[in-house]
Amino acid sequence: MAITFKQVEFTYQPGTPFETKALTDINVTIPDGSYTALIGHTGSGKSTLLQHLDALLKPTSGTVTIGDRVITPTTSNKDLKRLRQHVGIVFQFPESQLFEETVAKDIAFGPQNFGASEADALKLAAKMLTLVGLDADLLQRSPFDLSGGQMRRVAIAGVLAMQPKVLVLDEPTAGLDPQGRLEMMDMFARLRHEQQLTIVLVTHQMDDVANYANNVIVMDHGRVVKTGTPQAIFKDPQWLAEHHLGLPKTTAFAQQLIARGMTFDEMPLTEDQLAAALVKQLPTSVLGGGDHDE
Amino acid sequence: MSQIIDVEHLNYRYPQQAADQLTLTDISFTVAAGEWVAIVGHNGSGKSTLAKNLNGLLAPVSGKITIDGQVLSEQTVWDIRRKIGMVFQNPDNQFVGATVEDDVAFSLENQGIPRDEMLSRVAEALAQVDMQDFATREPARLSGGQKQRVALAGMIAARPQILILDEATSMLDPEGRAEVLQTIQQMKADSDLTVLSITHDIDEAANANRVLVVNDGHLVEEGTPAEIFQHGPALIKMGLDMPYPERLKAALARLGVQVPATYLTEKGMADWLWQLRSNK
């Protein structure tokens, strides 16, 4: 499901002393089926844009088209249920929103809210728990007895239980250890294929953008300042620095090698890409240990 | 240097745990005044529990904690808390003020600091974390990274002797994280601050004088960052990211390249690659 912003502006608390303009002239499309990374300096407007993806916020002016629904400043708050079922948002620290007595009831809450019977919702809960890589044994446990990483997976299962077409992830791996982070990012990539999801990832981790996304939206001061593939976005380190953004670790390291005089046909974004490019440039004497040429 | 933190044979169990289950088992270590110590370990290893024991938010089953010469007890806990500033991962849990500046001023009000001095310390602290433009905003409406900066500003203004950071930079972008780490280095240079940082971030750990590795409630290893970083892929199990040169080495090894076994810094790695290529 595609989402399109046309001339969107958004102001928080207009007409009060707290009035703040957060979005200015946003014109951008999140293509259907894409893995779109939304990046930008702290306070650049990412979270505000994100809340427009399922009409939690409505534009102060302009339109947001979500699938076949057009959201305008005057759209009524009623009748947004179906839309919200289609766009599932996993907020920062989603585990803080768990509240039910059991894992099963917590995951089933959303679907029941959207009209599923209790029996159907509980069946769905069992399925979703497996989908996020947790054991069915946990269904009858209290969510508060689980580890932080498990709680986050339960919260994500609750969002997936609405069977959304678009999954929006706001810093989904914050606070997880590196192993947990890797498992979670691999899980989203797998879910995207299994469930044919469009994914929107808000992140500060440029390595995740390089490893997983195929489309990038860059924000600064409430505006979209660039869109393109990770390859296109990361080829200009100076421009990124001007917008207070970093490079994937590999690209930053490749810059050091370039400064010494090495050249790369295409800017490497991941360590496997860099390793492959280096192997072509290294003497055969160090290439003894592998089995690739046997 | 004198020991500002001395932990001896600390055992901790949460109230709902069985008698034979411990979250922390026989933890002993010391931290010298002015030292920066990183505590690393995977999620659930007991790092945050350890931090909460140090300022008496949690009370151990057994063992002794001495902070700046005072043994932690019900009688001394309030004195000791004045010496320790904590910044948590999700600062929503620690905001009390209606505006950013009120929040930063909170601990100063509690300490009875005169109003003039309070105002200048608050303004100075907000400027140090680059949040001066947000002084009259509501903390709840800030982004995750901005909240972490405000929480840190509260600590800069309060000037504790010991700063405990519990994944306090996890929501910042890389540039913000570098700025915050630099601010903490500056605080250390100005005031002989002792820093205990609980982290998964390799760059934050690299700032430390010493790294303690906690696994399953036990203190399993300690060393300088360079000593700990030598572990390569095993670092992931310790809850730490692999340093970039180790990641690249692993990728090269997968393609059959013979790589050096010793730990290389980024510069060392670049030197090695450049030399190989020049010898071709």
* Model confidence pLDDT, tens digit, residues A157-205: 999 999 999 999 999 988 788 888 888 999 999 999 999 999 999 998 9
Count: domains in chain A? 2
The answer to whether position A161 is within a domain reads yes
Percentage of the residues of chain A whose pLDDT score is greater than 90: 72
Which pLDDT belongs to residue B15? 85
Q: Which of B185, B186, B105 is nearest to B197 (CA)?
A: B185
Q: How far A121 CA lies from chain B's nearest CA (Å)?
A: 31
- Are residues B218 and B248 part of one domain? no
Count: domains in chain B? 2
The answer to whether position A287 is within a domain reads no
E strands in chain B: 3-12, 24-32, 36-40, 62-67, 70-71, 84-87, 162-166, 194-198, 210-215, 218-223
The answer to whether position B181 is within a domain reads yes
- For an interface test with B, give the residue of A150, A179, A280 to mutate (most B CBs within 10 A): A179
Which pLDDT belongs to residue A90? 94
- Are residues A273 and A213 part of one domain? no
Which pLDDT belongs to residue A67? 93
- Are residues A114 and A192 part of one domain? yes
pLDDT exceeds cutoff 80 at B235 = yes
Which pLDDT belongs to residue B112? 86
CB-based contact, B175 to chain A, within 8 Å: yes
Q: What confidence category does residue B133 fall into, taking pLDDT thresholds of 50, 70 and 90?
A: very high
pLDDT exceeds cutoff 60 at A294 = no
The answer to whether position A208 is within a domain reads yes
Residues from chain A contacting residue B137 (CB–CB below 8 Å): 18
CB-based contact, B114 to chain A, within 8 Å: no
Rounded (10°) CA dihedral A231, A237, A240, A244: 140
Of the two residues A24 and A78, the one the predictor is more confident about is A24
The answer to whether position A228 is within a domain reads yes
The answer to whether position A226 is within a domain reads yes
**What 3-state class would DSSP assign to A245?**
coil
Q: Are B128 and B156 in contact (CB under 8 A)?
A: yes
The answer to whether position B236 is within a domain reads no
- Are residues A215 and A274 part of one domain? no
Contact A253 B270 (CB under 8 A): yes
pLDDT exceeds cutoff 60 at B167 = yes
Phi, psi of A179 (to 5 degrees): -65, -45
CATH code of residue A136: 3.40.50.300
CB-based contact, B268 to chain A, within 8 Å: no
Amino acid at B272: W
Q: What confidence category does residue A292 fall into, taking pLDDT thresholds of 50, 70 and 90?
A: very low
Scanning B26-45 for CB atoms below 8 A from A yields 42-44
Residue A215, H or E segment? strand A215-220
The answer to whether position A124 is within a domain reads yes
- Are residues A64 and A41 part of one domain? yes
CATH code of residue B164: 3.40.50.300
The closest CB to that of A289, out of B237, B256, B279, belongs to B256
Domain span at residue A263 reads 248-282
Q: Which of A125, A127, A78, A136 is nearest to A98 (CA)?
A: A125
Residue B106, H or E segment? helix B100-110
CA distances A5 to A89, A90, A152, B248, Å, are 18, 21, 30, 40
**What 3-state class would DSSP assign to B119?**
helix
The answer to whether position B238 is within a domain reads no
- Are residues B84 and B170 part of one domain? yes
Q: What is the mean pLDDT of residues A251-272?
A: 93
Residues from chain A contacting residue B138 (CB–CB below 8 Å): 18
Contact A246 B173 (CB under 8 A): yes
* CA pseudo-torsion sign A38, A40, A42, A48: negative
Residues from chain A contacting residue B270 (CB–CB below 8 Å): 253, 256-257, 260
Residues from chain B contacting residue A43 (CB–CB below 8 Å): 142-143, 145-146
Contact B257 A289 (CB under 8 A): yes
- Are residues A77 and A28 part of one domain? yes
For residue B137, give the DSSP letter.
S
The answer to whether position B261 is within a domain reads yes
* A239, HSE (Cβ side, Cα atoms, 13 Å): 9
- Are residues B272 and B158 part of one domain? no
CA B82 to chain centre: 18
- Are residues B222 and B130 part of one domain? yes
- Are residues B42 and B151 part of one domain? yes
- Are residues A154 and A81 part of one domain? yes
- Are residues A80 and A160 part of one domain? yes
Q: Which residue has the tokens 């907020």?
A: A91
Domain span at residue B71 reads 3-230
For A114-133, how does the pLDDT look when each residue is reduced to its tens digit (9 = 90+)? Answer: 899 999 999 999 999 998 98
- Are residues B64 and B38 part of one domain? yes
* Count of CB atoms situated within 10 Å of the CB of B111: 11
Which pLDDT belongs to residue B60? 94
Helix axes B144-158, B174-191, angle to 10 degrees: 0
- Are residues A43 and A126 part of one domain? yes
- Are residues A103 and A226 part of one domain? yes
The closest CB to that of A246, out of B175, B240, B242, belongs to B175
- Are residues A207 and A234 part of one domain? yes
Contact B254 A275 (CB under 8 A): yes
- Are residues B127 and B257 part of one domain? no
- For an interface test with A, give the residue of B273, B274, B279, B280 to mutate (most A CBs within 10 A): B273
Q: How far B70 CA lies from chain A's nearest CA (Å)?
A: 33
- Are residues A264 and A226 part of one domain? no
> How many A-B residue pairs are in contact by the CB < 8 A criterion?
149
The answer to whether position A221 is within a domain reads yes
Q: Which of B26, B37, B91, B72 is nearest to B224 (CA)?
A: B37
The answer to whether position A117 is within a domain reads yes
- Are residues A217 and A154 part of one domain? yes
